[in-house]
Chains A and B, each alone.
Chain A
Amino acid sequence: MERLLYLGCMIYNRFPDYELSAKAVLSKLGVKLRDFHEFSCCSSTFIPSASDEWIYLAAYNLALAERQNAAIITLCGTCTSTFKRANLMLQDEKLLEKVNSRLGEVGLSYSGKVSVNHLLEVLKEKENKIKVLVRQPLKLRVALQHPCNVFRPSYVARFDDPAKPRAMREIVTLTGAEIVDYAEEYECCGSTLLLTSQALGIGAGASKLASAQRAGAEAMVVACGNCAYLFDRHKEEIKKRNPSAELPTLFITQLLGLAFGLSREELGLDIRGVELG
C-alpha cells in the first residue's frame, strides 16, 4: 500500500529538512510515499481545547487519505495521537455517522479504517533493512528526545512502552552512534509550554539540553517537529538561559541518512546549517 507523508503545520512551515530526510531515508527503505496534497492542520492541541468539533478536521485528513486508498505516515507526536484518537473514537457508529454527515458537505466520506503510523513505527518495521543500508557507522555521541505523544496516552498510541519507550534507542543503535544516558532522557521536551509561558518553555529546553550535554552528547536526536521547534528555533534563548545548553538538533532520519552515506545536501543539513562535532 502506498503511504501519504503527513507533514502537519510544523514540518510544512518550519522544518523542510525533516521532510526531505524522511523522504530520502524512507525511499531507501522501499517505502512508497506520495505527497499529501490539501492536508490541513490535524487540529493540534488548539481545536480540542476549544471544541469537540476537532474530530471533523482530523477526519477530513483521514478521509482524504482513504479516497486515495493510502495509509498515513506522521512525523510529529501530536498529529499522530490526534489521528489515532479520531480513529479510536470513530469505532462508535453514531459518531462516525455524525462525522460523515459533516464530511459529506465537503464531498468526502470516511470508514474509520485508514491506518496511521508515526515514522518511528515504520522505521521499527524496517530494522533489518536499516542494518543492511548502514554503510558508515557513525562516530557520534547522541542524546535522544522521545516524542511523548507517539507513546502516550498508550490506549491511543498502542506502540512501545509509554513510560520508557525503546523504539528510538533501538533504531538509533543501528547507525553506530553512541547513545548517552542522561538524567532527563524520558522527560517531555516542554515545547508546548511556550504557548502560555516563554520562560517555562525555554527553562525546560535549557534544562534538557544541559543535562544531555553534561552526559557527553554531541547532538540531540528528535522525531517530532515540536521538539525541534524548542531545541532548534529557540536555541539562542536557551543558550542565554544556560550557556552550557548548546547542542545541534538532528531529526532521526538525518542521523539514519548520514549512516546510509547520504550527503548533507540530500538531508537538508546544509540549509538549516547543522554543524556536527
Chain B
Amino acid sequence: MGEQSKVCTRCSACTRVCIATRLGVPTGASVLEREDKFTCAGCWKCAEICPQGIDIYKLMMEARRKGELPESFRMGIRNILETGYAMPMRGVNAIREMYRLPPIERVKPEVVKKLLRGVSVA
C-alpha cells in the first residue's frame, strides 16, 4: 500500500479501542485529532486496528516533538540525561542487597550526554 492511500477516513476505529477515550479524555474522530498528544497509555491498539494502516505510533511521536512537553516528561528526560535512567536511582544497591542481588554497574553519565547531545528540556 502506498503512502498516498494512507489517509485517515475518520472512521473512529482507533478511538473505539482507546483506553484514554474510554476514560473520558476528549478525542475527535481519530486519536491523532486529540489535542493532548501526551495523555495516551501507549498500548497502540489504535495503530493495530487502523483499517488504513496508518502508523499512528510514528505520527503521534512526531506530533509530540512539535508541542510542549508536560512536566512529567521533562522530568523523565532530565533524569535520563543526568543519570542514564528515567527514575531516581538513589539507594538502589541497598535495596538490591536486601533481595540478595549483586550490585550492577551503572552507565557513565558522560556516555549518555554524548549519545543524546541533541536532546534538551531547557
Contact = CB atoms under 8 A, between A and B. Distances in A.
Interface of A: 7, 9-10, 12-14, 16-17, 19-20, 35-41, 43-53, 56-57, 60, 78, 102-103, 105-106, 148-149, 152-154, 162-163, 187-193, 195-197, 200, 203-204, 268, 271
Contacts of B115: 53, 56-57, 60, 102-103, 105-106
B20 A51 contact: no
A78 B42 contact: yes
A47 B44 CA distance: 17
Interface string B66-95: 000110110011001000111111001001
A103 B100 CA distance: 34
B116 A204 contact: no
A193 B111 CA distance: 30
Interface residues of B, number: 56
7 contacts: A20-B101, A46-B76, A52-B65, A53-B115, A105-B115, A153-B48, A204-B23
Contacts of A46: 73, 76-77, 80, 86
B61 A48 contact: yes
Given A9-B86, A57-B116, A193-B20, A149 B44 contact: yes
Contact of B119 (A51, A103, A105, A148): A51
A204 B41 contact: yes
B47 interface: yes
B99 A16 contact: yes
B116 A47 contact: yes
Nearest to B84: A40
B107 A50 contact: no
B20 A200 contact: yes
A193 B34 CA distance: 15
Contact of B87 (A13, A38, A190, A203): A13
Contacts of B96: 16
Q: Which 4 A-B pairs have the closest CB atoms?
A: A188-B43, A46-B76, A40-B107, A148-B43
A193 B87 contact: no
Contact of A50 (B65, B86, B101): B65
A270 to B, nearest CB: 10
B39 interface: yes
Contacts of B45: 148, 152, 163, 188
Contact of A7 (B23, B42, B47, B104): B104
B119 A47 contact: yes
B106 A38 contact: yes
A204 B76 CA distance: 22
Given A13-B88, A41-B84, A50-B64, 6 more contacts: A35-B104, A40-B85, A46-B76, A50-B121, A152-B43, A152-B48
B70 A190 contact: no
A12 B87 CA distance: 9
Interface string B9-37: 00000000001100101000000000010
B2 to A, nearest CB: 17
B105 interface: yes
Contact of B99 (A20, A41, A102): A20
A16 B101 CA distance: 8
